[in-house]
Structures are given as structure tokens and as C-alpha cells.
Amino acid sequence: MERLNLSDNIIRLRRERKITQEELADFLGVTKASVSKWENAQSVPDILLLLQLAAFFDITIDELIGYDPQLTREQIRRFYTELSEDFAKQPFHETLDKIRALAHRYYSCYPFLLQLCVLYWNHYMLAETEEEQEQILKEAVSWCDHILETCGDVGVCGDALAVKAGLSLQLGNAGETIEMLEPASDPVRFSGQNGTLLVRAYQMAGEQEKARRYIQAREYLDMLNLVGDAVMTLALYQDDLKRCQKTVRRIRAVMEQYRLEQLHPNVAAQFHYQTAVMYAANKETEDAFEALALFGNCIGRLLDAEKIVLQGDEYFDRVDEWIENLPLGAIAPRSREFISQNVREAFAHPVFESMRERPEFQKLIQRYKGGEDNA
């Protein structure tokens, strides 16, 4: 955490005004020794003197003490990466205490507070008891409520509503989640045409490059959403093997054409894993093994990469700028160590019980047995 800079600021401001410690002391009605102690960080002025100092230098108290309640995008990303790594390497409650201290300090920095909600959502399951997991999720919901009640940024509020809905669903409050999302999620709403209208407006205004960047980002997201929806389709229709087989064939074709395993191995891994679960549930063991192997390949891409980042390719050659403007930029929301842990838990799914003694399954488990054994 960055320290406050009261002592340095008093020195700087006093010198800019070209006054001595004694002159400043006379104005405030204190001794020269008191001013000297402030500037040497041996003591601090009381609250009334802070008000007088700020008025004298014609600045706010926040500016005087060097406190900035707003973080830059880069600072938010740096904090998120650091905290995500802390969850993997540091004691769980030490990391929680650190997050809570940051939330308290930057309670009015709504984009940062929102990312702390996301951080909780991604790591709450590390808590040892269900009671503590629930407490962490509820704490994140309270932060979302604070954002929705006090933030004036429509975009941040929209994201906060979506995160709150996800947290509420995780807490088992399906009715609340429906109430939050249903009004804005009707597929026939005119808002679904906003993207098309914006692209046409860009073209009409002669802003061709903006139109190209936007449509690429939208196509990229549509592809990810299509595969994500297919994951849910496989879960919803798990008892309809023929339909699921059609879904697998079609989505695999899309993934191959868009090279999704290279472009976004995390989303590809989710689809392959759900495919394996569906086949295992239907006693289609060989197909389940094939899907698990594809899942393992995607996880290998994530863990073997020098750095886990989102990126485009030669087809999506204009999405990097859009990715850079995401709240977390290109960085992954979870650390490498946490991904390994999730993978080990994924292989422990009861649906794979009948496959567990097969050599190919043991080989997959062995690869992720230790947090460091990812080669």
C-alpha cells in the first residue's frame, strides 16, 4: 500500500510559497519545532491544524496529506495481480485482511472496489468453511450495493449489477438473480441492436477504423459467448445425448475455425471439460477421455505459457486495444497456481469415478498432482 506524504508535501508547499518554518508556525500559532517535527515525520498536526494548513496552501486535505482515493487503471491491475498471487502463496486470512484494508481505503474508487468483488468471487472457495465462504460472498454483495447506490458511472454500475447477480446466484438466491437480470436480458429488447447501429453510425461518420475495431471486438465476444452458452447447453440437456452430440460437433467446428484453443484456451477448456462430464454421465467413456485430453491440452497452454494473457491473432488483429481497455487489461483473473488447484478439483468430479483407475486418467491426474508439476 502506498504511504501518505504529509511531511514531504508540507516541505514542498512551504518552499513553493517561499516561506520559512518559523513563518508557517506563526501563521498556525504553533512553535517552529512543531513544524520541524511534521516535516521530519516525527509527528503530525491535529485535525484542526490540518484544516488550517489546507486553507493556507489553498488545497484540499486529501491533497495535503497525499491521499488519492482514486486509483489509475494500471494501479488497479497491479493490485489485482498482486492479490491474486497472494491467494495462491500467502495465508488466506492475511490476504483477506489486506483486501479489506484496501477496500476501506479506496471505498470511493468504484472501479477498484468492483474488481475486489470479482477477486472475492474468483477465490471465495478457498475459505475452509461454508459459513466463511458465504460471509465473503455477502461482503462482496455489500460492496456492489455501495457502488450501485453511490456511483454515477453507468458502465461501472452495470458491471456491478452483473457481478452482484452472479454473487447472489452463488449464494443460492436464484429468485433475486432473476429479478435483477430478467428486465434487461430480454433478447427482443431494442438495446440488442445498439452494436449494429453504432457500427453504421461510425461508417456514416467516415470513422472506418473505429467501426472495424468495434465489430472485431463484438465478433470476438460473440464467439466466446457462443461457446460459453454451449457449456450451459451441455449441462441443461445432459440427459439428451443426441442433442449434446450435435452441440459438440457444431461448437468444435466453430472453435477450430476460430482457433479458440490458441486464442482463449480458458473458454475452450471449459467447453471440453463440460463435454467430458456430459459423456461420462452418459457412460460414453471413450468420448469422455477424448474430451478430457482436449481439456488437458488447453490447461497445458495456460500453465506452460510464460504469461497468461488475453490476446488477438492475425484474424482478430484489432482486438488488442479493446482488451487493453478492459478493467484488468490482458491479465488473467486467476493465478497459475489457482488454475492448477481448480484442475485437480475438476478431475475429482464424481462423474469420473468409473474412469479413475484407467492409466490415461491417472496420467492426467499426475500432471496436476503438485502445484509445481505442470510440465
For 40-77, the pLDDT digits (tens) are: 989 989 888 988 998 888 888 877 887 666 888 889 99
| Residue 261 near residue 271 (C-beta atoms within 8 A) | no
For 5-21, the pLDDT digits (tens) are: 788 889 988 988 899 99
User: Quick one: the chain helix, strand, coil %, rounded to 5?
Assistant: 75, 0, 25
For 135-186, the pLDDT digits (tens) are: 999 999 999 999 999 998 988 999 999 999 999 999 999 999 999 888 777 6
For 20, residues 6+ apart whose C-beta sits below 8 A from its C-beta are 14
pLDDT at 306 over 50: yes
Q: Which long-range contacts (C-beta less than 8 Å, at least 24 apart) are formed by 336-341? A: 336/88, 336/302, 336/303, 336/308, 336/374, 337/85, 337/88, 337/89, 337/371, 338/84, 338/87, 338/88, 338/122, 338/123, 339/299, 339/302, 339/303, 339/308, 340/303, 340/368, 340/371, 340/374, 341/88, 341/371
pLDDT at 217 over 60: yes
Higher pLDDT, 307 or 117: 117
Q: Measure the CA–CA gap between 206 and 162, rounded to whole angstroms.
A: 34
Predicted pLDDT at 332: 59
pLDDT averaged over every residue in the chain? 88
Instruction: Report helix, strand or coil for 309.
Output: strand
pLDDT at 341 over 80: no
Percent of the residues in the chain that have a pLDDT greater than 90, as a whole number: 57
Q: How does DSSP assign 172-206, residue by residue?
A: T-HHHHHHHHGGG--TTSGGGGHHHHHHHHHHHTT
State how far the alpha carbon of 100 is from the alpha carbons of 4, 118, 191, in Å: 18, 14, 37
Predicted pLDDT at 371: 42
pLDDT at 325 over 90: no
pTM: 0.69
Place of cell 459438440: 248
pLDDT at 320 over 60: yes
Grid coordinates of 180 = 435483477
Predicted pLDDT at 259: 94
For 104-146, the pLDDT digits (tens) are: 888 889 999 999 999 999 999 999 999 999 999 999 999 999 9
Predicted pLDDT at 207: 94
Instruction: Report helix, strand or coil for 331.
Output: strand
**Mean pLDDT value of segment 294-316:** 81
| Residue 191 near residue 293 (C-beta atoms within 8 A) | no
Predicted pLDDT at 308: 61
Predicted pLDDT at 309: 66
